Chains A and B, each alone.
Chain A
Amino acid sequence: MPKSSKIMFITGIFLFFIIFFLTIFVHFFAYDPLLTTGELFSPPSFKHIMGTDQLGRDVFSRVCYGTAPSLTIAFIAVILSLTVGTPIGAVSGHFAGKVDRIFSVIFDALYALPGIILAILIAAMVGPGVINTSVAISVEFIPPYFRVVRGIALSFKERPFIEALRALGARPRDLIFRYMIYALPSIIALMVLNMGSAILAVSGLGFLGLGLPPPTPEWGTDLGRGRDFITMGVWWISLFSGLMIVISVIAFNLVGEGLHEILGTKTSGKEV
């Protein structure tokens, strides 16, 4: 693995651990994110490193406490899309023919709908909440899993040892299970990359007001609310919330791409 890729991968892991550490031990070094002090809109200072927001809450604490909701929703969403996309991809690749064509056409149509639009549509229908938002985001990420697993199933299907297994009496479900196992490296790399995109999606919904209900601290929501105060010169709310988004997405992307190189899987170019 080339040296530059190694550096990026290690950086990603490093950032990842910082974020992890942040989420778990947040109580020890941050104030209560819901606590309203009297000091509204105070700029960054020693007391409040990232300033306070429109209700006097410490922005740094909100940013730190916001890690858990965003990451949780993103994680659930990725698991959901994985769970739906992988089996369908394996089945579709195994049976090929008409079944494959139907599923492929459906997923191609799904690709035409921009991800955030799909998420907005579903979030608008089901309302706020952790599970609801996860579901809204997950639909957008199902097609990549479908494609990858289907590709692997198709490529393995014709191999001699699979034929041998069939001759020995393997049932379709055994073979389908096998395809999913062989797809595991690709799936894992895809999962990590998708986490990055999922975090962007969560914050996007939050920014539009469709995420978690207030006063839950969430990066996108805080960013969106902070927008109203920019003309007053209050830049710290939006800036720091957004900064956390950037850092965490970069972390997942670095690790994900590093995984692709290590595991030898190829990006299809569509996730680029």
Chain B
Amino acid sequence: MRLREYFMIRLAMVIPTMLLIATVVFLIMHVIPGDPVVSLMGARAGSEKQIEIIRHSLGLDRPVYEQYLSYMGNLVRGDLGDSLVRKRPVISEILTSFPATVELTLFSMLISIPLGIYLGMVAAKRKGGKVDGIIRIGALATWCTPVFWIGIMLQIFVVLYAPMFPLSGRLSGRIILDRITGLNLLDSILTGNIVALVDSLKHLILPVFTLGTAMAASLTRLSRANIIDVLGEEYIKTSRLKGSPEKIVFQKHALPNALIPILTYAGLQTAMLMGGAILTETTFSWPGLGRLLFFAVEYRDFNLIQGCVVFFGLIVCLVNLLVDIIYAIVDPRVRF
């Protein structure tokens, strides 16, 4: 089918998926036993009367299906409710924190994608050799390491041997930066604020290195496997028999074909990236969406928890959509 039709259909599929995700989140939050109001109030819990009043104001005493309908109704209008702890709309809390996460994940991908693909390439070319073994072991060890441990190891290293990098946060307290996009690097460039630029970069280094390395591990293994598979294909043999120099065989025939499946994997990687971002943000006190979710959980702010999780699901969905479209553009066989 034509590309435009594929695009339309694929776009339409996002909506039911999103509704499903929102439903799953709702189910988890409302069907699991445990009284949200009591958890919310924690040590400040007052009399039965107080609990009842709060429960009523949150609408938690209505029947479940009624809560579900109003939840979904609000959701499609972009209303995620109000944060129970901060008394502000959930959506504005999320949008305030989101750019920080974007900055972190974008720069992490800037490291992980080239690094992963390059290492996978090297390992595939020298398959069975010492270099291949080292890369495989390194990738496996990194894949098996919790991302927060990598972060903490880096922090320890900085504390003990290189006390010039900041351990946490996004910007030093004494620096003032006008907020345009919310992306500190971009804003500091746009406003010509060199001090802020340098400071932002210094704060970015450790978290990005942490998340980037963690993500590079799986990419290395995947690209290595893919390139090895492609190198065994018939058309590669043909190309070699034809007399093409090895360099052309590799760069022009093998690599493009191997990279395409890796592209689909990018969609799945997004889910991993979001998960890794939460842990990285907590480790480095990076004020992004992941840390927001963490605080929401700590304070039992259920509306905020719900909103964050749904938002994460939305991001992953949209990235998957983008990846599918790109895939369909690149590989014409794939349009349903």
Chain A: residues with CB nearer than 8 A to chain B?
A: 2, 4, 105-106, 108-117, 120-122, 124-127, 196, 200, 203-204, 207-210, 220, 223-224, 226-227, 230-231, 233, 235, 238-239, 242, 245-246, 249-250, 253-254, 269-270, 272
- Can you name 8 A-B residue pairings with CB atoms under 8 Å? A112-B313, A113-B316, A125-B28, A207-B148, A230-B167, A239-B152, A246-B146, A269-B261
Interface-lining segment among B84-92, B238-246, B277-285:
B277-285
**Interface presence of B83 (CB below 8 A):** no
Are the C-beta atoms of A120 and B293 separated by less than 8 Å?
A: yes
**Interface presence of B63 (CB below 8 A):** no
Are the C-beta atoms of B152 and A242 separated by less than 8 Å?
A: yes
How does the 8 Å CB contact mask read for B126-139 relative to A, with 1 for contact and 0 for none?
A: 00100001001000
A203 proximity list for chain B (CB < 8 A): 146
Are the C-beta atoms of A246 and B265 separated by less than 8 Å?
A: no
**Interface presence of B236 (CB below 8 A):** no
Contacts A114-B271, A231-B167, A233-B159 given; 11 further ones with Cβ under 8 A?
Answer: A2-B128, A4-B136, A112-B316, A112-B317, A122-B32, A124-B297, A126-B32, A200-B144, A242-B152, A246-B145, A253-B140
B167 proximity list for chain A (CB < 8 A): 230-231
**Interface presence of B17 (CB below 8 A):** yes
**Given B153, B294, B320, which contacts A208 in the complex, CB threshold below 8 Å?**
B294
* A250 to B278 alpha-carbon distance, docked (Å): 23
Question: How far in angstroms is the closest Cβ of chain A from B138?
Answer: 12
How does the 8 Å CB contact mask read for B20-62 relative to A, with 1 for contact and 0 for none?
A: 1100110011001110000000000000000000000000000
Are the C-beta atoms of B133 and A4 separated by less than 8 Å?
A: yes
Are the C-beta atoms of A125 and B279 separated by less than 8 Å?
A: no
* A235 to B153 alpha-carbon distance, docked (Å): 8
Question: Number of residue pairs across A and B with beta carbons under 8 Å?
Answer: 148
Question: How far in angstroms is the closest Cβ of chain B from A153?
Answer: 23
B305 proximity list for chain A (CB < 8 A): 121, 124
Are the C-beta atoms of A126 and B34 separated by less than 8 Å?
A: yes
Are the C-beta atoms of B279 and A116 separated by less than 8 Å?
A: yes
Question: How far in angstroms is the closest Cβ of chain B from A126?
Answer: 6
Known: A122-B32, A124-B305, A209-B298. A110 touches B24 (CB 8 A): yes
Interface residues of B in 102-146 (CB under 8 A from A): 128, 133, 136, 140-141, 143-146
B265 proximity list for chain A (CB < 8 A): 269
